[in-house]
Amino acid sequence: MAATELSFYDRISDALAKPEGQLAISAGAKAKYDNRARAMSEFPSMEITRDRARSIRAHTLSQLDKFLAEFADNVEALGGHIFWAKDAQECNQYINEIARAKDVQLVAKAKSMLTEEISLNQSLETSGIDVVETDLGEFIVQLSGDKPSHIIAPILHMTREDVGNVFNEKLNVPFSDDPATLNAIARTHMREIFLKADMGISGVNFGVSESGAICLVTNEGNGRLISTAPRIHVAVMGMERLVPTLGDLSIMLQLLARSATGQKLTAYSSILCGPRRKNEHDGPEELHIVILDNGRSEILGSALSEILYCIRCGACLNACPVFHSIGGHAYGSVYPGPVGSVLSPLLFGDPWNPLPHASSLCGACKEVCPVNIDLPGLLLESRSQQIAKGKSPLLMRLSQWIYAITSCNPILFGLALRSGQVVSRLLAHDGWFTTLPGPLQGWSVHRDFPALAKKSFRQLWDKPSQD
């Protein structure tokens, strides 16, 4: 993924300058958060299931090589093709080659953040192939030339009016902001795409090692259509997205739907085993599963490997007060929110280093994670790795050392307190500072800062009468 021209801080300012967009995001995320909470409260074995899910993820990743090999063997035994892609380029090239060899003109896509990660659409379009997103939200994003702002709800940042305007402008239909009317317009437009497409491209929610099956979940049925109607189905899977058995899959599906949208199960959960067999009437003639690394094997075994447990439910985004405030676009990554703040610097490099700092470490994300990823812990780990590599401003390093040296020496600490008291006496008004100097300005832009107390607690302790 390429870095955008604006810095993270500029994007934050931009996002905060659009109150309507922020309201839509915050209301949408809050509704999902509440739905999740309700679904979980009606799920008596939630904590046990969550522990089980976490141990399944840990177990799978601890022997990922074994499970990947088993999965690949089983896919091939079912008649599917496996391609191991090291990075975005290899993946896109492979899919382009198939498209060229099989004379593919039109691709129908199901929603996949992984294909966003590698900019697959752009790559295919450059080769002259038409690509249509068939998930309603992604379709709207594509029509409006926008980017998804949430991993589950791509148009979280848009209002009904926005969608009406996009349809009016791009599909040449009368303006409406009625969801049923808008759905009907999209359905009519999409039906033709499903029937005409030569190739369907999807992600993979989970691959099942023991059988070589892949599981796709959607709420619109488009995943099922694009994986059965076109003659070729290409599924792009992150190398970590495996479960060992179908039993494990059932645990994951129960948590995924509840965590993402508050549903007990998504409307369509398709488990696909290989391409069309003899005597079968539907299904693709060819199935290609691309297993993509793109930086994941580097994360595996590192201090941040727990981030690979993620099943992309989006619950941490919905719970995150930072995400509520700035929305997904400000992160400048396909993966926003707490999970994105850990993942993005790992997958996309240094330009995303400020993201892990955009957290108050409140822990709301960890509370809702279906596989109990210690997201605040990973954000801290990510920060400390940056510091260990010297990736922090000199002034910050210097002030941290001064602060540490002072705090390790009670005499210096006492002196610092007294100096603070003198400064407070001279410069604070009525017990408060209204502006702070230099890098501390950030504080005083939004709030006053209290003057130091005339007598610190340690001084009062010595002479309690001065209380």
Which residues in this chain contact another protein in the complex, by CB under 8 A?
Answer: 9, 12-13, 16, 22, 321-322, 324-326, 357-364, 366-367, 380, 382-388, 392, 396-397, 400-401, 403-404, 406-410, 413, 417, 420, 432, 434, 439-443, 445-450, 452-453, 455-458, 460-461, 467
Nearer to another protein, 62 or 384 (CB): 384
Q: Which residues contact 102 (CB under 8 A, 6 or more apart)?
A: 198, 199, 231, 232, 286
CB atoms within 10 A of CB 420: 14
Nearer to another protein, 44 or 393 (CB): 393
Nearer to another protein, 98 or 460 (CB): 460
Task: Compute the least distance from the CB of residue 128 to another protein, in Å.
Answer: 42
Task: Compute the least distance from the CB of residue 460 to another protein, in Å.
Answer: 5
Q: Which helix (H) or strand (E) holds 242?
A: strand 242-243
Task: Compute the least distance from the CB of residue 35 to another protein, in Å.
Answer: 16
Which residue bears the tokens 């400000």? 330
The amino acid sitting at 118 is I
237, 201 contact by CB (below 8 A): no
Please compute, for residue 236, the number of CA atoms within 13 A of its CA located in the half-sphere on the CB side: 29
Nearer to another protein, 213 or 452 (CB): 452
Task: Compute the least distance from the CB of residue 36 to another protein, in Å.
Answer: 14
- H helices within 273-355, ranges in order? 296-299, 315-319, 321-326, 337-348
- H helices within 78-172, ranges in order? 88-101, 113-117, 120-126, 136-143, 160-170
Burial state string for 144-168 with b = 16 or more CB within 10 A and e = fewer than 16? bebbbbbbbbbbbbbbeebbbebbe
Nearer to another protein, 12 or 104 (CB): 12
- Tell the burial category of 430 from Cβ atoms under 10 Å away from its Cβ (0-12, 13-18, 19+): exposed
Nearer to another protein, 64 or 326 (CB): 326
Nearer to another protein, 278 or 447 (CB): 447
Task: Compute the least distance from the CB of residue 325 to another protein, in Å.
Answer: 4
Nearer to another protein, 122 or 400 (CB): 400
- Whether the CA torsion 345, 349, 352, 353 is positive or negative: it is positive
Task: Compute the least distance from the CB of residue 100 to another protein, in Å.
Answer: 46
The amino acid sitting at 427 is L
Task: Compute the least distance from the CB of residue 144 to another protein, in Å.
Answer: 25
Q: Write the DSSP symbol of residue 278.
A: T
Task: Compute the least distance from the CB of residue 457 to another protein, in Å.
Answer: 4
